[in-house]
A and B are shown apart, each in its own frame.
Chain A
Amino acid sequence: MAFTKTRHSGFINIPYAKRYEPIYLAFIAGIAGHGLVPSAAVHDPSSRYQLDRIYDLIAGSQFSFHDLSWMSLDRKSPRTPRLNMAFELGLAVAIARAAGSTHEWFVFDTVPYRLDKALSDLGGIRPRIHDFTPEGVLRALMNALARQEHRPTLAELLEIYREVEKGARRIKRTYSNDLFDTRPFKELTFAAIEAAYRFITSLSKS
């Protein structure tokens, strides 16, 4: 199977829920801060099948980041668990294992050893643990990624996050209350890369 890879993109797989907004913004900031272009299966009004779209997005990314920390039932009736994150992780694992693939995937959770029980098929895989704060997510990303050049520090990633978060507030004030939509996602990604060039010392000097 042949995949067209955009070498420097990172697919974000997290629950699209209000309380996950800071986590979502931290993933955008942290991934952009490592010189990758974030991608995500944000709401898309196009008529493409969601499954095809998600598959292509993961297959087109060099890395994917899967936050499996949502393990409760949602509030809407009928109350259900959210299975999308685990499903998308399964897609990423299959894509990574296809012949010739160089895709790499990373799992995140907030509770150590919980995935051993909830998703025992991942036995031996150590999820990156964060404490459900933006700083925790950035630390966990730094534990997964390193750069040869323009390696960001935690302080620099936090500055990028703060600027993205302010951009998100502006977007909410001006045109969209839903940050998990296509346009806000693209514009937050742009803001994160702009911020990286300002706050990562070696980049701002280059």
Chain B
Amino acid sequence: MTAKNSLAQNRRVLITTPFPTPDEVAAELGIPPKRVAELRQMIAEIRAEDASRARGRSPAKRQPAKPAKKK
């Protein structure tokens, strides 16, 4: 028995396999196409909410600061 696997534990491994696509992953996990579409819709809604929240915070939407009152 070699110590190969123990030594590997202490270093960083390099992944050379291609990055799987979402469609490949959905097929591998057995997620039906209809549910994939629903999940994509859910993700789109989350992103839209994020974008809307971010716009609400953008400086362009802020009210201009009121001029200081003269004493």
Q: Is the CB of B18 within 8 A of A35?
A: yes
Name which residue of chain B comes closest to A192, CB basis: B25
- Beta-carbon contact of A191 and B43 below 8 Å: yes
Chain A residues touching B, range: 35 or more
Q: Are A144 and B12 in contact (CB under 8 A)?
A: yes
Q: Which of A105, A166, A189, A196 contacts B5 (CB 8 A)?
A: A105
Beta-carbon contact of A126 and B10 below 8 Å = yes
Q: How far is the CA of A143 from the CA of B11 in the complex (A)?
A: 8
Partner of B15, one of A34, A103, A124: A34
The reply to whether the CB of B51 lies closer than 8 angstroms to some CB of chain A is: no
The reply to whether A35 and B46 contact each other, CB–CB distance below 8 Å, is no
Rounded to whole Å, the gap between the CB of A66 and the closest CB of chain B is 10
Digitize B1-31: 1 where CB-to-A-CB distance is under 8 Å, 0 elsewhere.
1000110111011111111111001101111
Q: Mark A104-144, 1 if CB is under 8 A from B, else 0.
A: 11110000000000000000111000000000000000011
Is the pair A194, B40 in contact by a Cβ cutoff of 8 Å?
yes
Partner of A8, one of B15, B36, B39, B47: B15
- Contact stretch, chosen from A15-23, A44-52, A71-79, A146-154: A146-154
B25 CB contact (under 8 Å) in A107, A125, A193: A193
Q: How far is the CB of A206 from chain B (nearest CB, A)?
A: 8
- Asked if A197 contacts B17 (CB within 8 A), the reply is no
> Beyond the given A34-B15, A203-B19, could you list 8 further A-B residue pairs with CB under 8 A, ordered by the A residue number?
A35-B19, A37-B25, A37-B29, A104-B5, A144-B13, A186-B30, A194-B22, A194-B39
User: Please, could you name 14 A-B residue pairs with CB atoms under 8 Å apart, sorted by A?
Assistant: A8-B18, A34-B15, A35-B18, A35-B20, A62-B17, A104-B13, A106-B9, A125-B9, A143-B12, A147-B16, A148-B14, A187-B31, A194-B40, A203-B19
